A and B are shown apart, each in its own frame.
Chain A
Amino acid sequence: MFGSWHKPSTSSTAATTEPGAEQQTAQPKPGTRWPWSLLTGLIILALAALIPLSGDAATLHTWTLILMFAVLAQSWNFLGGFTGYASFGNVFFFGVGAYSTGLLILSGRPFWLGVLAGAVVAGLLAFLLGLPVLRLRGHYFAIATLGIAEATRELVAIRNLGGSGGEVELPLPALSDTTFYFLFWLLALACFLLTAYLARSKPGYALIAIRESEETAEAMGIPTYWYKIGAFVLSAVPTALAGGLYAYWSTGFDPPTVFDVGISVEMVLLTVLGGAGTLLGPLISAILFELLSFQFQISGSAFHNSLLGLTIAMVTIFIPQGLVGLVQEFLRPLAPGMSRRQLLVEGVRRVRRVIAANGV
């Protein structure tokens, strides 16, 4: 699984690299460049906080969604990136948050109560569902979570939760768009700080150990099962908070939007594009990818999905280790006294080696 990403490749392709090539050292573990990553992330978020100054409603709308996806991707990273358990059903918690908030607002309660209730319910559900589901691994875990999300979407629609077909209509929110923007911003910041904490703390190391080798981690005395469940709960709560905020912000939703498999896939996509298990990866790729996606939507609407698909295919083929991994590859110290030409050759060689390591 993720382990092979960070270990030097033992495949036959690695053995065929010429002797002159620099020995393939282990990729820098998340955390070695921690202070710089933390600083960069905080600067990015501080700049993002300036967006409402532009006064443009469309820009604000776009960036609200970008921050929402940053929250979703970062919370997916807790389990999928650090622990290596790729959930394809995290949208389930998004939907749970949205429905808790929607139903409580419809019953006359304040919206913050709904959002908090959604987070609590999602946390509990993550715990209860994690008990059986986290015994599965790899594809099987991915599919089981996907199944839970899909089945819930259908159940919500059939039980007519909130309205016929599960459609929920909410009153217009009392908060301004800028307030919503900063609520999402705070959530993104909290997720970022939590990721930074995990990258540099004992619980975080335990999660990474599970990703690298679950048996070894267990043998080292880490209660892997409970750590995995903890990571699942940790990734569920911010997702549910984002879902609750989204519900109130959008003023109306139905099961196909808040239980959309596409959102689950996007969480995975953003994290992997940025670099799974890294501090900056999900945040950066949420911004870049969503901006690109919106640009496609605006410019050539007929080709929107084709372009998106092509981008995803290109990125997965050429930088499968994620953007952060690519940058780190280039930042690795070079041998001193290299000419420009040699530097170029070395750079090309590094990228080609990464591509070749994944090929047949």
Chain B
Amino acid sequence: MLVLAVGSLPVRRLPFHREVSAMLIVQVIVNWLLLGSLYAAVALGFSLVWGIMNIVNLAHGAFILVGAYTAYWTFTQLHIDPFLGLPLTMLLLFCLGWVVQYVAINRVIRAPFLVTFLLTFGLDLLIADVVQLLFTSDRRSINTAYSGFGLTLGTLHIPFDRLLAALIAVLLTAALSLFLQRTRTGNAILATGMDRDAARLMGIRIDRIYALTFGLGAALAGAAGAMLVELYPFDPSQGGVFTLRAFVIVVLGGLGTPWGALAGGLVFGLAETVVPLLPGIGPGYDDAIAFALMVLVLIFRPRGILGKAFYA
């Protein structure tokens, strides 16, 4: 059975044959789209928080961890399917994010960006350590009844759980975009992102908007974590990896819109699925390629692929 190539995560890679068949190319494209969409979910909340509040949230990976372990806990203890339990996970993470922003980050929001950088780094240490104390540093994974099943068309194989995760990721992107564009609260978030002081003069309670935005960012991170733990084994040391990846994805896609996260996720997925299959490169360079790509994008197009000036 073909197993998806997923970067540095411990899953077997696609075997590379010299005579690349058409089916294999299709399989690689499918793998790329599935992984890229999942990465969009990883970066979505990070992009929102950065775009609206100009905070590079280093605790993003910790939120992903909390989401993953909430899903793991609800699955093993309450026997709720991780995908069905997604709203529950997101609600919990929303509350966590809301409190963190309201109690801590709101107090340094006007400080130079280094201060929020450090504060979120401290929160990351704290949250990841608490998760580790609660769940130990063992690797955990979820095996549902449908794990390993999927659509098979000839040699093409699409696992159900990955397909579902990718669909949910795209759905979340669309939902966030619609929420920001179409609702009053969403417009208030956008307005606060464009001009904090003008928004305040229009009667927007920016402390609440910030708490809401950060809560949404945390909820989206939680959703990504819940989907990741469904697909890959997980342990508490992995939070930082996902913060870094969210970083790269957001830079690649640009800060402008939620769709930027999707674009960035797809480009990042490209570096991880397709590039290792090119002759002469081989596996293992995925992060190096992703980071090199990021530095190049930063230098030649600092706004990213879809980036605009504001989160609009």
Q: Which residues of A contact B (CB under 8 A)?
A: 1-2, 4-5, 9, 11-13, 80, 86, 132-133, 135-136, 138-140, 142-144, 146-148, 150-151, 154-155, 158, 261, 265, 268-269, 272, 276, 302-306, 308-313, 316-317, 320, 355, 357-360
Contacts and interface: CB of A to CB of B under 8 A. Distances in A.
B298 A313 contact: no
Nearest to B121: A265
Contact of B126 (A1, A138, A272, A309): A309
B240 interface: yes
A147 B291 contact: yes
Contacts of B248: 143, 147
A147 B119 contact: no
Nearest to A147: B291
Nearest to B115: A320
B206 A143 contact: no
Interface of B: 50, 54, 56, 104, 106-119, 121-130, 132-133, 197, 200, 206-207, 210, 240, 244, 247-248, 251, 284-285, 287-288, 291-292, 294-295, 298-299, 302
Contact of A306 (B112, B125, B299): B125
Contacts of B210: 360
Question: Closest 3 interchain pairs by CB?
Answer: A312-B122, A309-B125, A309-B126
A268 B302 contact: no
A289 to B, nearest CB: 12
Contacts of B117: 86, 142, 268
B107 A136 contact: no
18 contacts: A11-B110, A86-B114, A139-B56, A142-B56, A146-B244, A151-B291, A154-B285, A261-B240, A276-B114, A306-B130, A309-B127, A312-B121, A312-B125, A313-B119, A313-B122, A313-B123, A316-B116, A316-B122
A305 B125 contact: yes
Contact of B288 (A9, A144, A154, A316): A154
A66 B291 CA distance: 31
Given A144-B299, A306-B130, A311-B122, A5 B288 contact: no
A139 to B, nearest CB: 6
Given A133-B295, A135-B299, A357-B110, A316 B119 contact: yes
Contacts of B113: 1, 86, 138-139
Nearest to A312: B122
A355 B107 contact: yes
B260 to A, nearest CB: 15
A143 B294 contact: yes
B299 A309 contact: no
A269 B119 CA distance: 10
Nearest to A139: B56
Contacts of B207: 360
B124 A309 contact: yes
A12 B113 CA distance: 19
A215 B85 CA distance: 52
Q: Which interface residue of B104, B113, B118, B123 has the most chain A CB atoms within 10 A?
A: B118
Q: Which interface residue of B108, B113, B210 has the most chain A CB atoms within 10 A?
A: B108
Contact of B129 (A2, A4, A309): A309
B247 A5 contact: no
A286 B106 CA distance: 27
Contact of A317 (B104, B110, B291): B104
Q: Which interface residue of B56, B113, B298 has the most chain A CB atoms within 10 A?
A: B298
Contacts of B129: 303-306, 309
Contacts of A5: 111-112
Contacts of B298: 136, 140, 143-144, 147
A162 B54 CA distance: 41
A359 B112 contact: no
Contacts of B110: 4, 9, 11, 13, 357-360
